[in-house]
């Protein structure tokens, strides 16, 4: 698969957020992967979420529809359910 087969969907500031988005896209049927530079100690690493170029329009639509909530992203990134405010 050539580099031109993939298109940038989003750049995220951390790997867990990027992985959560990739997992959601894969569940929706969009081939996705993460590209990032190796992180240096103490340096923030941006992660590019890449999707199959032929599915870019579908991926953008998915993100625009808000198909994934912040709580779902948190769960996918951390594996724990978000805490609820009980006050």
- pLDDT, tens digit, 9 for 90 and up, residues 42-73: 666 789 999 999 999 999 998 888 756 667 66
- How much is the pLDDT for 84? 57
3-state secondary structure of 54: helix
Compute the residue count for the chain.
87
Q: Are the C-beta atoms of residues 75 and 22 closer than 8 Å to each other?
A: no
- Edge-to-edge order in the sheet of strand 6-12: 6-12, 47-52, 32-36
Residue 17 has pLDDT above 60, yes or no: yes
18: enclosing H helix or E strand? helix 15-27
Give me the residue label for tokens 């405010």.
85
pLDDT tens profile 30-44:
999 999 877 676 666
- How much is the pLDDT for 69? 67
| pLDDT interval class at 22 (50, 70, 90) | very high
């Amino acid at each position: 698969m050539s580099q031109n087969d993939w298109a940038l969907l989003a750049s995220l500031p951390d790997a867990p957020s990027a992985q959560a988005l990739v997992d959601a896209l894969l569940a929706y049927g969009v081939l996705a992967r993460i590209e990032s530079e190796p992180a240096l100690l103490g340096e923030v690493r941006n992660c590019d979420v890449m999707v199959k170029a032929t599915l870019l329009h579908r991926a953008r639509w998915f993100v625009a529809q808000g198909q994934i909530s912040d709580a779902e992203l948190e769960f996918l990134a951390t594996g724990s359910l978000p805490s609820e405010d009980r006050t």
